[in-house]
Structure 1
């Protein structure tokens, strides 16, 4: 069993804490005037996507998590499983709907994404930061409504709904930030 000593905790380290894989978001070594030194750490629980703060003694250690991030291409889905392929090894993966979760609305066929594995099982998917999608439906804005509003809702080709400026029409291609779900720009 490989371990990290608490004085070696660095941002980006992947550890096992409370029998779950965690990512260290921040780490601060503190040596008070009196008493024992300690490390103040912010951990992101990868299974629950939960952020917690924890303090460790300088003598503590935690097991290194067997986390692997692979760049895979999305192929298709059948409603229950999403299918991916590794372009280098041509190994294919089927991932359950609950693991894909809200990332599904940003996945386009043949697009790449990062799939995170723990003990050779997928635990979550990170889509590309920016995606270019087609607007398939939007509400027509009347002149009187334009005075009170600067945005409207648009449905995209993947089913995602985002706020867009009033000048965006059906058939337009837009760039969206997948982290926040915000409109970035129109693609010409």
Structure 2
């Protein structure tokens, strides 16, 4: 009946809050130590590498620079982001340091379904399991999610580690502000999208137009092609 189906769905959930999913496929991860000078962009680092951070934190390497100063030993300047708090910061490793890296199974494709009570619901496109991610974890990505949008999700110990959105998506313009046609250097104007996000658009964009926007920073790309 309806109750039994609900119970089955509940068992198939993978929760970002830490609950176990008895029927969900388990992704195995392992931690390995590598030399700091071999770190690659996109790597996930354990909290044991970063003094003063929460022990359960995980960091993604956004960028790195190898530096050889005139005096002293070589080091690697890393730009890291806390995958849960989205805190972006710099950290320096000596080139000879051993850094603990978290290795994961490949991400899986998922489809965004809906948001309810502060939780985003996705469907694993392979297993059809329901994946739940707390809204606080997706503070940056959440506003750009759309019904049916396909994303990629990585898990670590059955918790969502990262939800990767498409590079860009199209949205309807709900409001636009006035543009200054007399100022040749001012070729855009403010606009509000259907999701409530404020962006800048060219002067020719009007209310009701669909525009393509980058999902990482809200930058206007182009007008969307008519369906």
TM range (shorter): 0.7 to 0.9
SS where residue 105 of structure 1 aligns? helix
* Residues 1:88 and 1:119: Cα distance change in structure 2 (over 3 Å): same
Partner of 1:65: helix, strand, or coil? strand
In 2, Cα distance between the equivalents of 1:157 and 1:11? 33
Alignment match, 1:9: 39
The answer to whether the 8 A contact 1:135-1:174 is kept is: yes
Q: Could you tell me how far apart the structure 1 residues matched to 2:67 and 2:198 are?
A: 43
Structure 1 runs, 4 residues or longer, greater than 6 Å off: 32-35
Counterpart-to-counterpart distance in 2, 1:74 and 1:4: 35
Shift, 1:124, TM fit:
4.0
The CA RMSD measured in Å over matched residues stands at: 2.8
Measure, in 2, the Cα distance between the counterparts of 1:33 and 1:136. 55
Which residue does 1:61 correspond to in 2?
Answer: 98
Q: Which runs of 5+ in 1 are unaligned?
A: none
- In structure 2, the CA distance between the partners of 1:167 and 1:33, relative to structure 1 (3 Å rule), is closer
Q: How does 1:1-188 map to 2 (within 5 A)?
A: 2-16=32-46, 17-18=49-50, 19=55, 20-24=57-61, 25-26=63-64, 28=66, 38-47=74-83, 48-49=85-86, 50-58=88-96, 60-67=97-104, 69-139=107-177, 141=178, 145-148=180-183, 149-188=186-225
TM-score, structure 2 normalization: 0.67
Counterparts in 2 of 1:172 and 1:103: CA distance versus 1, 3 Å = same
In 2 relative to 1, CA 39–118 (structure 1 residues): closer, same or farther, beyond 3 Å?
farther
SS at match of 1:102: coil
CA contact (8 A) 1:67 1:119 kept: no
Q: Distance in 1 between matches of 2:161 and 2:79?
A: 16
Q: What secondary structure does 2:201 align onto?
A: strand
Q: Using CA pairs under 8 Å that are at least 6 residues apart, name the structure with larger relative contact order, 1 or 2.
A: 2
SS in 2 for 1:179: coil
Distance (Å, rounded) in 2 between the aligned partners of 1:129 and 1:171:
22
Provide the aligned length of Structure 1 versus Structure 2.
182
Give the Cα–Cα distance (whole angstroms) in 1 for the partners of residues 127 and 43 of structure 2: 27
The question of whether the paired residues in 2 share the 8 Å contact of 1:71 and 1:112 is answered with yes
Higher strand share: 1
CA shift in 2, pair 1:33/1:84, >3 Å:
same
